[in-house]
Amino acid sequence: MKKITAIIMAVVMIAAAFAGCGSNKTDSANKNTGKKTTDATVSEVKTATKGKLTMVTNAEFPPYEYKEGDKIIGIDAEVADLIAKKLGLELEIADVDFDSIIPGVQTGKYDMGMAGMTVTDERKQKVNFSDSYATGVQSIIVKDGGSIKSIDDLKGKKIGTQQGTTGYIYASDTPENGGYGEKNVIGYQNGALAVEALKSGKIDCVIIDNEPAKAYVAATTGLKILDTPYTKEQYAICFSKDNSELQTLVNNALNELKDSGELQKVVDKYIKAD
Ligand code: ARG
């Protein structure tokens, strides 16, 4: 009798252990992919430099990324740092021209591009994107008291943008597609140079994302943002199509930061509600 009880006990214990295993697995499984950033697989993730997460950006885009002395700060830089920490990696940031970001990610020179980058179908052909982490709006900056009073006055005007950005892509498109024609649009190396050109009267307006637009207008006298925004878009992090494993891990980390409210905290630090 004793022996039978012992056998039953053993069976019950083994069954319990198995049940435990099973439930553990579901607990730690992330809703999207089953890989939590704390899983052992994270330490094996392939990056351009072992132990590092290399983000490439264009640090001319306040408040997402800009320089304070030699340091690159901003929403993207801080969120990337939190992501890297979750993955047990050290963040390294490379600063290049905006239109060099995607090529650098495609070749695997950098692990991810994070630059207030808008998800577009054309870019999706070249790189993979994370889930979106912010909404952007293309705004129009004009001179106070200038000839452009609304978006309807843009036809035939000289429009400044940052080269390679959606502002350039949309504005330089044909009128049938809602643009103003390539010959009317100038792509500057960065937004600050476009704003400089507007100030000195070389161009009539600047089309750029609303948050940098606000930062530039706040730092310059005599400029304002038109009430009608040009277009609405989603920002996301881009990855090489060859490293979907890293993409998944970063995406999960990003979603954890969204869920915990840490992402919003970073945004609130840089963007004050108006
Ligand atoms: N959202 C725009 C785009 O994706 C502009 C981004 C510019 N970012 C930057 N870091 N300069 O084209």
Three-state DSSP at 173 gives coil
Rounded-to-10 torsion of CA 95, 100, 105, 109? -70
Q: Where in the chain is the domain with CATH 3.40.190.10?
A: 42-133+236-270, 136-233
Please provide the DSSP assignment of 179-218 as one string. Answer: ---GGGEEEESSHHHHHHHHHTTSSSEEEEEHHHHHHHHH
* Residue 210 CB less than 6 A away from ligand 1: no
Q: How confident is the model at residue 229 (pLDDT cuts 50, 70, 90)?
A: confident
* Residue 76 CB less than 6 A away from ligand 1: no
pLDDT at position 89 is: 95
Ligand 1 pocket test, candidate residues 57, 72, 98, 120, most atoms within 8 A of CB = 98
Average of pLDDT values for 11-29?
39
Average of pLDDT values for 58-79?
97
Determine how β-strand 185-188 pairs with β-strand 159-162.
parallel
Q: How confident is the model at residue 35 (pLDDT cuts 50, 70, 90)?
A: low
Cβ atoms of 42 and 28 closer than 8 Å: no
pLDDT at position 218 is: 95
- Using the predicted structure, report yes or no on whether residue 40 has a pLDDT greater than 90: no
Q: What mean pLDDT is reported for the chain?
A: 88
Sign of the CA dihedral with 220 first, then 165, 132, and 46 last: negative
Average of pLDDT values for 11-19?
42
How far apart are alpha carbons 210 and 222 in whole angstroms? 17
pLDDT at position 12 is: 42
| Nearest CA residue ID for atom 12, ligand 1 | 165
CATH number given to 136-233: 3.40.190.10
Tell me which amino acid residue 254 is: L
Nearest one of 68, 76, 163 to 116, comparing CA atoms: 76
Counting atoms of ligand 1 from 1, which one is nearest the CA of 169? 12
- Choice among 11-25, 110-124, 228-242 with the minimum mean pLDDT: 11-25
pLDDT at position 118 is: 98
pLDDT digit string, tens, across residues 168-189: 999 999 999 999 999 999 999 9
- Using the predicted structure, report yes or no on whether residue 8 has a pLDDT greater than 70: no
- Using the predicted structure, report yes or no on whether residue 128 has a pLDDT greater than 80: yes
Average of pLDDT values for 144-153?
92
Ligand 1 pocket test, candidate residues 55, 60, 117, 169, most atoms within 8 A of CB = 117
Counting atoms of ligand 1 from 1, which one is nearest the CA of 233? 1
Average of pLDDT values for 261-270?
98
Determine how β-strand 134-143 pairs with β-strand 205-209.
antiparallel
Ligand 1 centroid, distance to 22 Cα (angstroms): 45
pLDDT at position 7 is: 45
- Using the predicted structure, report yes or no on whether residue 55 has a pLDDT greater than 90: yes
* Residue 116 CB less than 6 A away from ligand 1: yes
Q: How confident is the model at residue 41 (pLDDT cuts 50, 70, 90)?
A: low
- Using the predicted structure, report yes or no on whether residue 139 has a pLDDT greater than 60: yes
Counting atoms of ligand 1 from 1, which one is nearest the CA of 136? 1
* Fold that domain 42-133+236-270 belongs to in CATH: D-Maltodextrin-Binding Protein; domain 2 (3.40.190)
The pTM score is: 0.84
Ligand 1 pocket test, candidate residues 56, 57, 61, 211, most atoms within 8 A of CB = 61
Ligand 1 centroid, distance to 93 Cα (angstroms): 16
Of residues 45 and 183, more confidently modeled: 183
Burial 146-173 (b: 16+ CB within 10 A, else e): bebeeeebbeebbbbbbbbbbbbbbbbe
User: Residue 6 contacts by C-beta under 8 Å, 6 or more apart in sequence?
Assistant: none
- Choice among 30-39, 94-103, 137-146 with the minimum mean pLDDT: 30-39
The overall longest dimension of the chain from CA atoms, in Å, is: 99
